Amino acid sequence: MKLVKVPSSQGSLEKNLGCELAPEILCGKKAESVNVIPNDLESTDENIYSKAKEIINEKPVFVGGDHSITYSLFKAFSENFSNASLIIFDAHADCTSFFKPVSHEDMNKVLIEEGLLEKERLLIIGIRKIWAEEKPFLEKNKIQLISAQEIHNDLEKTKIQLQEFVSKQKNIYLSFDIDALDPSIAPGTGYLEENGLTEKETFELLQTVLDSKKVKATDLVEINPKLDEDGKTIIIGKRILKKLVEQ
């Protein structure tokens, strides 16, 4: 396992500035860090991609930063692992209109449209906010979604559904956006959405994915210390990171 910091909020469209501070707080000074080029997202993305290519076989755990980093990380992952799958814990679909460079609002759409990810191999868990412009893309491509409400209604059924998806996959990249959690336990992020995942739901579903032993790389993103009340988000972020590192 290799822990790598990706301290960039450049792909957040200035909507989660401060999340670049999270990697240092979560990982300390010892972990490796991607070289972030200020005010140059494209060069930064190239550096993220290069670092991922270099260590992708070492079960890396990347700590961001905003969610756009997953685009470059998964690009490297998909080039290295056949039948690459992406499981994301997220309140949002991240499938808005695509403008270069890739942002945290469109990275899933770009991965599919560029052929880096097969649409059948994407699963988003904890979703509860879909923009009108995203609906046609999600419906046309039959993107698999498990809403936060479905999880609240029946956690055990959700775990079975998740196991069924995982059983069909070979090589999984797991991305965890902290806004999947309810704002009451993770207030420190840029896009707060009510009715999010509880602590119990989060860790049971996370464990369900990790137990498959098919997860080959992970990331944790969108934690913003500047918006964090009483350090709550950092605390639960460290617990999630511990799970990712130990798996």
**Per-domain residue ranges for the chain?**
2-246
Calpha distance 182→212 (Å, rounded): 26
Percentage, residues of the chain above pLDDT 70: 94
Mean pLDDT of the chain: 92
pLDDT at position 30 is 85
For 196-217, the pLDDT digits (tens) are 999 999 999 999 999 999 999 9
The CATH code that applies to domain 2-246 is 3.40.800.10
Q: Model confidence over 20-40: pLDDT tens digits? A: 999 999 999 889 999 999 888
Spatial neighbors of 10 by CB under 8 A, at least 6 apart, are 36, 39, 40, 41, 44, 66, 68
Spatial distance between the Cα atoms of 132 and 136, rounded to a whole number of angstroms? 8
Render pLDDT for 181-197 as a digit per residue (tens, 0 to 9). 999 999 999 989 999 99
Phi then psi for residue 16, to 5 deg, are -145, 45
